[in-house]
A = this chain, B = another copy of it.
Amino acid sequence: MKVLIVEDDALHRSYLNEAVRTALPECDAVLESENGRLGEIEARKLRAEFIVMDLQMSERNGIEAARTIWRERPDTKILFWSNYSDEAYVRGVSRIVPEGATYGYVLKSTSEERLKLALRSVFLESQCVIDREVRGIQQKGMGSGHGLSDAEYEILVDVALGLTDKTIASRKKLSLRTVQNRLQQLYEKLEVYQETGDDESRYNLRTRAVAVALMRRVLNASAVERAERDLQDDAD
Contacts and interface: CB of A to CB of B under 8 A. Distances in A.
A160 B211 contact: yes
Contacts of A124: none
A228 interface: yes
A85 to B, nearest CB: 10
A210 to B, nearest CB: 6
6 contacts: A162-B203, A162-B205, A162-B208, A210-B210, A211-B224, A215-B221
Contacts of A211: 160-162, 224, 228
Given A10-B109, A204-B164, A224 B215 contact: yes
A50 to B, nearest CB: 22
Nearest to A205: B162
A160 B160 CA distance: 11
A185 interface: no
A41 interface: no
Main secondary structure of the interface of A (DSSP, over half): helix
Contact of A224 (B10, B159, B200, B214): B214
A59 interface: no
A224 B211 CA distance: 7
Interface in A74-112: 83-84, 108-109
Contacts of A109: 9-10
A175 B200 CA distance: 14
A163 B220 CA distance: 20
A211 B228 CA distance: 9
B9 A163 contact: no
Contact of A204 (B12, B163, B192): B163
A29 interface: no
A214 B208 CA distance: 15
